[in-house]
Amino acid sequence: MSYKIPMGPYHPALEEPYKLDLICEGETVRDAKLHIGFNFRGIEHLAETRNYIQVIALMERVCGICSNIHTLTLCQAMEKLTGQTPPPRAQYIRVIMAELERLHSHVLWAGIAAKLMGFKTMFMTCFELREKVMDVLQAISGNRVNYSMNRIGGVNRDIDDPAALLIMIDVLEKEMVRKVIPIFTTSSTARSRCADIGVLTNAKAISLGVVGPVARASGVAQDLRRAAPYAAYAEMDFQVPVESAGDVRARLMVRALEIMESCNILRQALTKLPPGELNAGEGKLAFITGTATSRVEAPRGEVMYSVSWKEGSNKPARVHVRTPTFVNMPAIRSMVQGARLADTPLIQASIDPCYSCTDR
Amino acid sequence: MNSLTTALARLLVFPGLLFAIPAAWFFLWVERKSVALMQGRIGPPFMQPFFDFIKLLGKTTPPRNGLGGLLMKAWPLIAVSSAAGAVGLLPVLPLSGGFEGDLILLLALLELPSMCIIAAGFSSRSIFGEIGSAREAVLSVAYNVVFLLAIVSIAASQHTFRLEGLAALQYSPLHLLGIAAILVCLPAKLHINPFSLPNAEQEIYSGPMTEYAGPELAMWELSHGLEWVAATGLVATLVAPHVTVWWLGVLLFAALSFGVVLLLSVVAAATARLQIDTTVRFYWQCTLIFAVLAISSALFMRFRL
């Protein structure tokens, strides 16, 4: 006999409201239906009513975790429409902010994953570490969540003392290697919860078009930082971790290795930080008529902005956002089919869903 | 008359209700506080479990009509009284009385709260309650075999089902093996990590307790606390060396129970929640071997004697 278990829109396993209707037989999930839209705020419409300064502040509030990525992508698109080019120092600072945000997001995700396994001690360890990443972000931008670093043609604030930040990065990396990564890779209870569950095969990953760590954990080696470098990523030397198993453990491993790579990129960027201006200069901007798109690799995968403008206007005609969760979400359905009910919270979390981005 | 007074004193004063209820709150606090400290949190204030209880008692719950409503009210009360009875039976004081077969009664009383939880989940008619109850039932079948085998083998080696006889037992390999087996079962009995399946909040909210609120929930909390006292107390009485001074006995009992609570808290803080099939496999595979060892050594000792 099958029965339906509603998971959400308000549920202890979910960070944000969305709903997963699980059709179960005993403890086995046969099928799932996904409902989104509980967090709709009409931000894309609001963007059409804001001028080019205000729209950056608005889009920063699409997401509470990857706020910097949204303004970065928007600014890159608007730079195409205004013909501005950010100076090299600004490009480097953008890389530093993006990588710190990736660290922040991945550590936060590790904490959530630990909580869903019922491993609250690990959750606390991860969130303690996340505080330290946030301290670094605060040291640079003065803010902990919405950093307001990006502007059209550059960045708003400088990094005055890269050497001091390097020390903080070293401490972070040491803690990651010492505490977070071993618990997920060697703890037997944690391993028994992650291995061979929520498998997404390589073929399925390609046909569903998943992005980011979810794709890389299924053997799809795609990363925009490598495939279509933006900011100063072309000058960075880094690996793109790829796993082939496609289960929750592989997604965990990919994120753990990405944490290490982020530390590596941060160290390079801070060491090589070139001198120079922070932005392309003050003054009124003139937009051309047309549509510009920009893509960046957010912690969860590819974010794309499509910005349309009419010449002479100071407001965008249309701002369209495509977030990684929107693309990864349908994969949940094929991941939970045949899974145990106890694993579904962890499986749905393994794509690192962000519904405030998706619903906007 | 004298034996009746003793029995009443044991049930109502020590180690019964008067001692057991504050001890239950204290143990709940110790568990929450020690786990919090291990996780780098501050944890609840000392009086929190008591405040929770009083606060819940003061709430009004939506009325539930018919037999279902009546049953939902009855289960927590049965659970509290059986857990309190189990604590009352523990042979803490030297020469505290008891009767032949009180071990069997203790085991039955220890098992009743978990039966009540199963029944409560199903009577609440919530899907989360039903899944939680089903998990509790599977879990209880899995760990009880080991739990009962461990205790029965210790008792069989002594030719007695009297608790006092067990408490006075000298240390032997069988005895230690049995205690270890009981300790392995306690996390499942008390629903703590790694066997916190029936109340896995990230999966099924609080399982059988999902539909409970107010005074009934307060009773469940109390019965949970009393289960802590009874289960850790059982281990404490088995571990405690035999003493004839009553206050030393009480002190030893309290200190050992406290130690067991701390040990269980460490286990809870250091582990993730296991899945139901891993849990069942764990209990049936590893600890069955464990208990078989105990039984064979019990038989061996019996023939040798």
Q: Is A320 domain-assigned?
A: yes
CATH of the domain at A221: 1.10.645.10
**pLDDT beyond 70 at A211:** yes
**pLDDT beyond 80 at A113:** yes
d(CA B26, CA B12) in angstroms, rounded, equals 18
Residue range A288-300: mean pLDDT, rounded: 89
Of A170-179, B106-115, B216-225, the range with the lowest mean pLDDT is A170-179
- Secondary structure (3-state) at A32: strand
**pLDDT beyond 70 at B95:** no
Range of the domain at A191: 45-335
Among the partner residues A189, A192, A341, nearest to B203 by beta-carbon distance? A341
**Domain segments of chain B as ranges:** 2-304
Residue range A86-107: mean pLDDT, rounded: 90
Of A225-229, B50-54, B201-205, B217-221, the range with the lowest mean pLDDT is B201-205
Sign, Cα dihedral of A215, A221, A224, A228:
negative
Among the partner residues B40, B203, B274, nearest to A192 by beta-carbon distance? B274
**pLDDT beyond 70 at B283:** yes
Nearest-Cα distance to chain B for A125, in Å, is 7
**Partner A contacted by B39 (CB < 8 A):** yes
Helix (H) or strand (E) holding B242: none
B273: which DSSP letter?
Answer: P
> Which of the two residues, A324 and B287, has the higher pLDDT score?
A324
Percent of chain B with pLDDT over 70: 94
Residue B304: pLDDT band with limits 50, 70, 90: low
Q: What are phi and psi for residue A341, nearest 5 degrees?
A: -55, -40
Token pair for residue A18? 């969305």
**pLDDT beyond 90 at A338:** no
Q: Do A120 and B39 lie within an 8 Å CB cutoff?
A: yes
**Partner B contacted by A110 (CB < 8 A):** no
Residue A10: pLDDT band with limits 50, 70, 90: confident
**Partner B contacted by A12 (CB < 8 A):** yes
Residue range A33-46: mean pLDDT, rounded: 88
Q: Is A106 domain-assigned?
A: yes
Nearest-Cα distance to chain B for A7, in Å, is 8
Q: Is A153 domain-assigned?
A: yes
Closest alpha carbon within chain A to B203: A342
Residue range B239-266: mean pLDDT, rounded: 84
**Partner B contacted by A182 (CB < 8 A):** no
Cβ(B90)–Cβ(B103) below 8 Å: no
**pLDDT beyond 90 at B192:** no
d(CA A214, CA A335) in angstroms, rounded, equals 11
Q: A182 to chain B: which residues are within 8 Å by CB?
A: none
Residue range A264-284: mean pLDDT, rounded: 84
pLDDT of residue B128: 84
pLDDT of residue B76: 92
Query: Structural domain tally of chain A?
Result: 1
- Contacts with A70 (C-beta within 8 Å, 6 or more apart), sequence order: A59, A60, A62, A63, A303, A305, A321, A357
**pLDDT beyond 80 at B294:** no
Q: Is B48 exposed, middle or buried (0-12, 13-18, 19+ CB in 10 A)?
A: middle
Q: Do A122 and B273 lie within an 8 Å CB cutoff?
A: no
Token pair for residue B119? 């029944």
Radius of gyration of chain A (CA): 20
d(CA B239, CA A177) in angstroms, rounded, equals 41
| Cα of A347 vs its chain's centroid, Å | 18
Q: Is A1 domain-assigned?
A: no
Residue B94: pLDDT band with limits 50, 70, 90: low
Preferred mutation among A14, A28, A120, A197 to probe B, highest tally of B CBs within 10 A: A120
Q: Angle at which helices A120-141 and A88-116 pack, to 10 degrees?
A: 160
Preferred mutation among A189, A346, A350 to probe B, highest tally of B CBs within 10 A: A189
> Average pLDDT over chain B, rounded to whole?
83
pLDDT of residue B51: 93
**Partner A contacted by B145 (CB < 8 A):** no
pLDDT of residue A294: 92
pLDDT of residue A71: 92
**Partner A contacted by B242 (CB < 8 A):** no
**A2-7, strands of its sheet edge to edge:** A2-7, A19-25, A28-35
Q: Is A349 domain-assigned?
A: no
Residue B152: pLDDT band with limits 50, 70, 90: confident
Concatenated DSSP letters for A285-322? Answer: --PPSEEEEEEEEETTEEEEEEEEE-TT-SS-SEEEEE
pLDDT of residue B218: 92
3-state helix, strand, coil in chain B (%, to 5): 75, 0, 25
Q: Do B39 and A124 lie within an 8 Å CB cutoff?
A: yes
d(CA A319, CA B264) in angstroms, rounded, equals 55
**Partner A contacted by B295 (CB < 8 A):** no
> Which of the two residues, A2 and B120, has the higher pLDDT score?
B120
Q: Is A33 domain-assigned?
A: no
Cβ(A20)–Cβ(A3) below 8 Å: no
> Which of the two residues, A144 and A184, has the higher pLDDT score?
A144
Sign, Cα dihedral of B230, B231, B236, B242:
positive
| Beta strand extents in chain A (DSSP E only) | 2-7, 19-25, 28-35, 150-151, 154-155, 290-298, 301-309, 318-322
pLDDT of residue A238: 86
Q: A13 to chain B: which residues are within 8 Å by CB?
A: 202-203
Residue range B51-58: mean pLDDT, rounded: 92
Nearest-Cα distance to chain B for A112, in Å, is 11
Q: Angle at which helices A162-175 and A120-141 pack, to 10 degrees?
A: 170
Percent of chain B with pLDDT over 90: 15
Q: Is A240 exposed, middle or buried (0-12, 13-18, 19+ CB in 10 A)?
A: middle
Residue B96: pLDDT band with limits 50, 70, 90: low
**Partner B contacted by A5 (CB < 8 A):** yes
Residue B55: pLDDT band with limits 50, 70, 90: very high
Q: Is A65 domain-assigned?
A: yes
Cβ(A184)–Cβ(A252) below 8 Å: yes
